[in-house]
A and B are shown apart, each in its own frame.
Chain A
Amino acid sequence: MALAQLMLRRIWSRLAQSLVLLGIVSMVGFSLLHLTPGGPLSQFTDSPGMTQADIERIERQLGLDQPLPLQYLRWAGNLVVGDWGRSYRDDAPVLSVIAGRMGQTFKLMLAASLIAMTLGLLLGVFGALRQHGRFDRGATLATMVILSIPTFWFGLLVIYVFSQRLGWIPAGNAAPVGDSGWLVALHHLLGPAFVLGLVNTAVWSRYMRSAVLECLGQDYVRTARAKGVAPWRVVVRHVLRNAWLPMIALLGLELPSLLGGALVTETVFTWPGMGRLFYDSIANRDYPVILGMLTFSAILVILGNLLADLLYGLADPRLRRR
């Protein structure tokens, strides 16, 4: 009973925090686009055929002649009810444009995260078990270099070696038109997922290593060893079960950089996801889509953090029992 109440209170307070954050994020995103020199109409003002009267007409049509706070309130109100405006390019509703690309990005992020977590776990654990050993040093150096490689360049190298030279993977896109077999899709996913995954492996293995190192120094590990538990069993049952907890929080914390990495990876591999959409709408100065994507990515991050936070609360028995 008390437990349920505690969890409920935790959930409510986190929800409230997320809502506040949402308000701030929407304000920041909105003012960012409206206060920069280009402004939302830059696409129109740059074209030579437009007269001043035309621009004023468009301004009135889009409600851009009203005071900024009023514009924000109207925009935010529409946001809540799901009206995110329409793309300048083809007049499609922004939310459905984003929704149409979401699946591909999630697929990429999921595949990359699976690669990153598996490799990161292995690298981190084995590194920590023999701290300062040869493997640990190698892994530490490798993660530092990987964290320093520009993702797009890494993607280019992967395309050159594995696509141009060896011909193992396609050079880009999700799948050829009309071909919807899952094997083909998986084949196309290989390159971008590998690139995004390896970049994130570095992050995961670093966190995993320090988490395992911290657990290894704890009393319960010494106790387990002292009473003669098999070494591998100590690692799996005592160390990993505790080292996993911070990883849940990391999942939420790393979401912004995973999304950002997805943008770059998608651009290099011409992967038809949200990142590519964002890049294209920047090139077209498609202001409603840019603002929509900016808001959407922030909402995703807030939701991810909320989820990670609640999961953490569920997974950590210390937080449950209190």
Chain B
Amino acid sequence: MSATILQPALPGTGLLARFLRRRMAAAGAALVLLLVLACLLGPALLPFDPLRINMRARFLLPFSGPHWLGTDELGRDLLARVLSAGRYSLAIGCLAMLLSLLVGGTVGLVAGFYQGRIGAVLMRFVDGMLCFPSIFLLLTLAALTSPGIATTTLIIGLTAWMGVARLIQAEVRALCERDFVTAARALGLRDSRILLDELLPNIAAPLCVAATLIVARAILLESYVSYLGYGIQPPVASWGNMLQKAQQYFVSSPWLAILPGLMITLAVTGFNAIGDGLRDALDPRGTR
């Protein structure tokens, strides 16, 4: 694998076409778009408040009457709840992704550029963090801090960055062998300029792929933490904590648990499909 083959494929001509040609990737993008639109606009369009309790209309079945998807154990409209929950789950996924890209990207850039002692120390730290199963780390952090939207986002972002760091470090190491970096050094450019102006644009492609895959992962992690009771707290609904409550009524009304889980699966599948498609489309070797 010589350096010339590894020409960084920058987002540009034909990328969208190559991406959309993959049926699964296009379907994933459509799915995510649909979910985002529904969650953004849905709660405003629906005549029901997701937090409004109506004890006379508990456990209504889907497709029976004004509540399209039925009501939950407190008589709240399930469709309104699942859509407003999606706002939190998707937003937390995206914010946690930004945070982990920031941390992981910085660590990866620095460790890849300064390959000496700094790089070694940083990467050993990354190796160490990766030894902990991420759910173990997450639960520990979640249990020791006060649960909430901000903390949940923060701890997911701070436990999901290691993979990015590894990926970017490898990319940057390879880039540092290339002539344009040598040239920039020979010209006497400051390190910060080489890092930000020369290297950063060249790792845009792998960063994009990592970003979508991390959103998928972050949504899943949010659902785990909230399901286990240490994430988003009621009355605010997220897909994870809707499941926590629904578990109690699982035998009598399984629908309450099936719907939020289905939403998580759809969203995560969508983001994963986009990520896989982007990776293939950006891979210069994949001409299929």
Contact = CB atoms under 8 A, between A and B. Distances in A.
Contacts of A285: 143-144
A259 interface: yes
B144 A39 contact: yes
A245 interface: no
Interface stretch (A71-79, A88-96, A149-157): A149-157
Nearest to B151: A37
A13 interface: no
A260 B136 contact: yes
Interface SS of chain A: helix
Contacts of A38: 143-145
Interface stretch (B65-73, B173-181, B198-206, B266-274): B266-274
Contacts of B141: 32, 36
Interface stretch (A1-9, A214-222, A224-232, A292-300): A292-300
B140 to A, nearest CB: 6
Interface string B123-143: 011011111111111011101
Given A25-B128, A28-B129, A256-B130, A144 B243 contact: no
A160 B258 CA distance: 11
A140 B24 CA distance: 10
A149 B228 CA distance: 16
A264 B257 contact: no
B48 to A, nearest CB: 24
Contact of B243 (A37, A153, A278): A153
A301 B230 CA distance: 25
With most chain B CB atoms within 10 A of its CB, the pick from A29, A141, A148 is A148
Given A150-B223, A153-B243, A156-B261, A259 B254 contact: no
A153 B265 CA distance: 10
Interface string A168-195: 0000000000000000000000000000
Given A141-B24, A150-B220, A153-B264, A282 B131 contact: no
B227 interface: yes
Given A160-B254, A293-B136, A148 B243 contact: no
Q: Kindly name the residue among A42, A153, A263, A293 whose own CB sees the greatest number of chain B CB atoms within 10 A.
A: A153
Contacts of A149: 261, 264-265, 268
Contact of A282 (B133, B143, B220): B143
Contacts of A28: 125, 128-129, 132
B106 interface: no
Given A24-B124, A36-B145, A152-B243, A260 B133 contact: yes
B247 interface: yes
A298 B143 contact: no
Interface string A11-50: 0000000001100110111001100111100100000000
A153 B269 contact: no
A141 B240 CA distance: 24
B140 A263 contact: no
B107 interface: no
A297 B140 CA distance: 13
Contacts of A293: 136
Interface of A: 20-21, 24-25, 27-29, 32-33, 36-39, 42, 140-141, 144-145, 147-153, 156-157, 159-160, 164, 256-257, 259-260, 263-264, 267, 278-279, 282-283, 285, 290, 293-294, 297-298, 301-302
Given A36-B144, A145-B269, A150-B265, 19 more contacts: A27-B128, A28-B125, A28-B129, A28-B132, A32-B141, A144-B272, A144-B273, A144-B276, A149-B265, A150-B220, A150-B243, A150-B268, A151-B224, A153-B264, A160-B250, A260-B135, A282-B230, A297-B136, A301-B132
Lowest 4 A-B CB distances belong to which pairs? A24-B128, A260-B133, A153-B261, A148-B268
